């Protein structure tokens, strides 16, 4: 009977450890999503909101949200470039489609590590922005 109690106890401890690990990873790597409509309103109403486009410069030149800052997540100097951004702003981060685990999430994870706290992920990325009929700038 003592053996069953020990096994049960160890099982509970293992479950608690796994849950704690999952929760800490989730908190540091996954940001809150924001809809295209909400993002548009935030940009209109608040000067402290910045669109951060993490696609390549070539993709950015083909079309981007007006006023967006472009820092390529694939560039080895991404962290260095991102560290120059103001930390008192809210950043709406996006790539082309913003799938979970994609370029947007990877960027948000790095930005979290750099001490940024106000980070949102644009639901559907630039493609959703376009589908909503919102303006795109080309450079």
Provide the token pair at 45: 């109403």
Q: Which member of 36, 39, 93, 95 is catalytic?
A: 95
Alpha-carbon distance of 90 to 69, in angstroms, equals: 13
Active site residue 22: no
The C-alpha R_g of the chain, in whole angstroms, comes to 19
Other CB atoms closer than 10 Å to residue 26's CB: what's the count? 9
Alpha-carbon distance of 106 to 113, in angstroms, equals: 11
**Nearest residue to 53 via CA among 113, 133, 112, 137:** 137
Helix/strand/coil for 39: helix
**Catalytic positions:** 95
């Amino acid at each position: 009977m003592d053996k069953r109690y020990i096994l049960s106890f160890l099982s509970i401890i293992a479950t608690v450890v796994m849950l704690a690990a999952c929760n800490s990873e989730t908190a540091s790597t996954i940001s809150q999503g924001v809809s295209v409509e909400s993002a548009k309103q935030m940009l209109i109403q608040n000067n402290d909101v910045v669109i951060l486009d993490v696609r390549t410069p070539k993709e950015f030149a083909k079309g981007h949200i007006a006023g967006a800052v472009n820092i390529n997540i694939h560039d080895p100097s991404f962290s260095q470039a991102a560290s120059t951004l103001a930390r008192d702003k809210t950043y709406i981060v996006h790539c082309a489609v913003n799938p979970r685990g994609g370029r947007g999430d990877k960027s948000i994870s790095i930005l979290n590590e750099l001490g940024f706290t106000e980070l949102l992920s644009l639901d559907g990325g630039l493609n959703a922005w376009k589908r909503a009929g919102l303006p795109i700038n080309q450079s």
